[in-house]
Homo-oligomer: A and B are copies of this chain.
Amino acid sequence: MDNRIGRLAMLLLLEEGERPLPEGWSYCIGKVGAMDEQKVVAAIETAARSNHIIRSNVYRETHALYHAIMEALHGVTRGHFQLGDVLRTVGLRFAIVRGTPYKEASEGEWIAVALYGTIGAPVKGLEHETMGLGINHI
């Protein structure tokens, strides 16, 4: 079975249907629209916690997720790590996948955050697609 965690996370967004994951993996999907980057981060973190993708009381899991989110946002923002501050807004769907993408047991668990949606001026239609992927060990 396919164990490419980033590809799976992205396909969960792009195909919008069910998709079998390897046994023992977990994932969740959500969406967020915001001019405020902070809200994007918060929405993804909250979804990961409430869906038990990460354990809320273990900082290393929050830390792993946080850096994966930051990496995914680079793909979305492409050079200016800002939204409303540069007068743009996003409408994003996100997928968070936790699993074991490497064969060796010693590689342990990893987390992928995929983002897909639109970015543009805060006016309906003045926007184009955007995408991002972050991957981290957890």
Contacts and interface: CB of A to CB of B under 8 A. Distances in A.
Interface of A: 4-7, 10-11, 14, 36-38, 41-42, 45, 55, 57-60, 62-64, 66-67, 70-71, 73-82, 84-88, 101-102, 104, 106-108, 110, 112, 114, 116, 120-121, 125-137
Given A75-B75, A129-B135, A131-B133, 19 more contacts: A5-B129, A7-B129, A11-B14, A37-B86, A38-B85, A60-B137, A62-B121, A63-B128, A63-B137, A71-B78, A71-B79, A80-B81, A81-B82, A110-B128, A112-B129, A114-B131, A128-B135, A131-B131, A131-B132
Contacts of A74: 74-75, 77-79
A44 to B, nearest CB: 10
Contact of A75 (B4, B45, B78): B78
Contacts of A38: 84-87
Contacts of A7: 14, 116, 129
Contact of A6 (B66, B84, B129, B136): B129
Nearest to A36: B85
Contact of A130 (B6, B42, B70, B116): B6
Given A14-B7, A60-B108, A41 B86 contact: yes
